């Protein structure tokens, strides 16, 4: 059976128009819809391909992503601040969302301090069932309602407990991933800031975005210490000795804003700043893939201790997608300060045998 063709330029433009309309004309009484869009985009990158095919997902897969996203948001924000009253941020215009309340209750009962440890607890299955039911009953039923009508341009139900991303949607989510992520996260941020019940919790905070969407400083410190013990006190990129080092996203966070343990490397602050939001060139990519093959289990152990998501296979898929996107757009790769090279088709060969 032949594969569906990739979406035409007109179909891609229609997809973007519908995304724009969804945010402009949709009803966002809670943050669930933002989380659902982010989950779809992430899973399209991790499980999909750059073709026109559909992608079938279980609602439990999506429910698990909701727990990941809301896990840190279920703990009080503003602890230690003098200009705020610490509290769990309200994610709904009405009572606190059921997902946050369920995670809060689970954390208290289980004593789990990280999402990774939570997944090993006997009660996690019940938590996942509760969250999955909420996802099915709420955002999955209403995300595609905007402008006074239902526009099923993203997904459809595919039988009990399943949804299907429609023809061409996976391609578009992968193609426009940074834009979809930026829109969903900025509106999520605005929703929380705009809720007056959060004002006393937020105070004059300027780190809300990091709290909502990035790994904690404590997690990054554990990750950095672990990488230093594993590889020595040297920069991943230049190989020179370092005293204070940055924990850098090898695939830039701006391109894929999800903290995966295997994506972290230890770098000189100067190398980190110079590389910035650029993909790394061949020598660095080759070294990174070799490190993945040789030390995947060690890095996973460090990641678990840091409470980060651990999945070497997914991290490679993300890297493959990132470089494929760069090839398509004609981007350059960072070699060292002020030195770059084109990312051409030969880069795809690094992932051909992965």
Q: Is residue 1 part of a domain?
A: no
Q: Is residue 3 part of a domain?
A: no
Does one domain contain both 51 and 105? yes
Cβ atoms of residues 226 and 306 within 8 Å: yes
Does one domain contain both 200 and 334? no
Does one domain contain both 158 and 71? yes
Does one domain contain both 18 and 118? yes
- Which residue, of 171, 192, 213, is where some domain finishes? 213
Q: Is residue 106 part of a domain?
A: yes
Does one domain contain both 326 and 235? yes
> What does the DSSP assignment read for 282-299?
HHHHHHHHHHHHHHHHHH
Report the half-sphere exposure of 304 (CA within 13 A, side-chain side): 12
Which segment of 26-30, 79-83, 101-105, 344-348 scores lowest on mean pLDDT? 79-83
Per-residue pLDDT averaged across 57-84, rounded?
Answer: 92
Q: Give pLDDT tens digits for 178-207.
A: 999 999 999 999 999 999 999 999 988 788
Does one domain contain both 174 and 298? no
Does one domain contain both 198 and 267? no
Mean pLDDT of the chain: 94
Q: Is residue 137 part of a domain?
A: yes
Does one domain contain both 169 and 302? no
Confidence check: pLDDT of 350 > 60: yes
Q: Is residue 321 part of a domain?
A: yes
Q: What does the pLDDT read at residue 89?
A: 96
How many of the other CB atoms lie within 10 Å of CB of 31?
27
- Which residue, of 187, 213, 239, is where some domain finishes? 213
- Going 243 to 288 to 309 to 184, the CA torsion angle's sign is positive
Cβ atoms of residues 231 and 223 within 8 Å: no
The 3-state DSSP class for residue 52 equals: coil
Q: What does the pLDDT read at residue 3?
A: 77
Residue the block writes with tokens 């703990």: 75
The boundaries of the domain holding residue 267 are 217-352
Q: Is residue 63 part of a domain?
A: yes
Does one domain contain both 245 and 311? yes
Does one domain contain both 48 and 128? yes
Q: Is residue 169 part of a domain?
A: yes
Does one domain contain both 201 and 264? no
Confidence of residue 353 (pLDDT cuts 50, 70, 90): low
Q: What does the pLDDT read at residue 78?
A: 82
Does one domain contain both 87 and 192? yes
Residue 150 DSSP symbol: E
- Which residue, of 178, 213, 248, is where some domain finishes? 213
What values do phi and psi take at 104, rounded to 5? -55, -50
Confidence of residue 81 (pLDDT cuts 50, 70, 90): confident
Confidence of residue 101 (pLDDT cuts 50, 70, 90): very high
Domain count, the chain: 2
Q: Is residue 257 part of a domain?
A: yes
Residue the block writes with tokens 């289990």: 297
Confidence check: pLDDT of 1 > 60: no
Secondary structure element (H or E) that encloses residue 62, with its range: helix 59-71
Which segment of 2-6, 40-44, 110-114, 330-334 scores lowest on mean pLDDT? 2-6
Helix, strand, coil percentages (3-state) for the chain, rounded to 5, are 55, 10, 30
Confidence of residue 4 (pLDDT cuts 50, 70, 90): confident
Confidence of residue 221 (pLDDT cuts 50, 70, 90): very high
Share of the chain above pLDDT 70, in %: 99
What ranges make up the beta strands (E) of 207-303?
Answer: 246-249, 264-267
Q: What does the pLDDT read at residue 128?
A: 98
């Amino acid at each position: 059976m032949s594969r569906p063709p990739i979406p035409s330029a007109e179909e891609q433009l229609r997809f973007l128009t519908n995304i724009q309309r969804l945010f402009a004309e949709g009803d966002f009484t809670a943050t669930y819809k933002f989380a659902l869009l982010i989950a779809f985009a992430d899973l399209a990158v991790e499980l999909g391909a750059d073709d026109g095919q559909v992608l079938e997902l279980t609602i439990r897969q999506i429910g698990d992503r909701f727990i990941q996203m809301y896990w840190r948001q279920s703990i009080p924000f503003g602890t230690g601040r003098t200009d705020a009253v610490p509290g769990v941020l309200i994610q709904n215009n009405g009572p606190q969302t059921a997902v946050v309340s369920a995670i809060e209750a689970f954390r208290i009962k289980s004593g789990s301090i990280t999402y990774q440890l939570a997944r090993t607890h006997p009660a996690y299955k019940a938590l996942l069932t509760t969250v999955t039911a909420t996802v099915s009953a709420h955002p999955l039923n209403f995300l595609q309602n905007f402008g006074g009508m239902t526009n099923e341009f993203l997904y459809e139900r595919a039988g009990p407990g399943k949804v299907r991303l429609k023809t061409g949607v996976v391609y578009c989510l992968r193609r426009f991933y940074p834009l979809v992520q930026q829109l969903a996260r900025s509106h999520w941020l605005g929703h929380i800031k705009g809720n007056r019940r959060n004002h006393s919790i937020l105070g004059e905070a300027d780190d809300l975005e990091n709290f909502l969407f990035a790994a904690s400083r404590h997690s990054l410190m554990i990750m950095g210490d672990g990488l230093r013990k594993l590889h020595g006190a040297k920069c991943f990129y230049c190989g020179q000795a370092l005293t204070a080092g940055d924990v850098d996203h090898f695939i830039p966070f701006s391109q894929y804003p999800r903290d995966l343990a295997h994506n972290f490397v230890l770098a000189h602050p100067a190398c980190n700043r110079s590389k910035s939001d650029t993909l790394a060139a061949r020598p660095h990519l080759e070294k990174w893939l070799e490190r993945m093959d040789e030390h995947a289990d060690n890095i996973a152990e460090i990641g678990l201790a840091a409470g980060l998501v651990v999945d070497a296979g997914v991290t490679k898929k993300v890297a493959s997608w990132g470089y494929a996107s760069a090839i398509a757009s004609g981007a350059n790769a960072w070699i060292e300060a002020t030195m770059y090279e084109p990312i051409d088709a030969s880069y795809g060969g690094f992932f051909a045998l992965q």
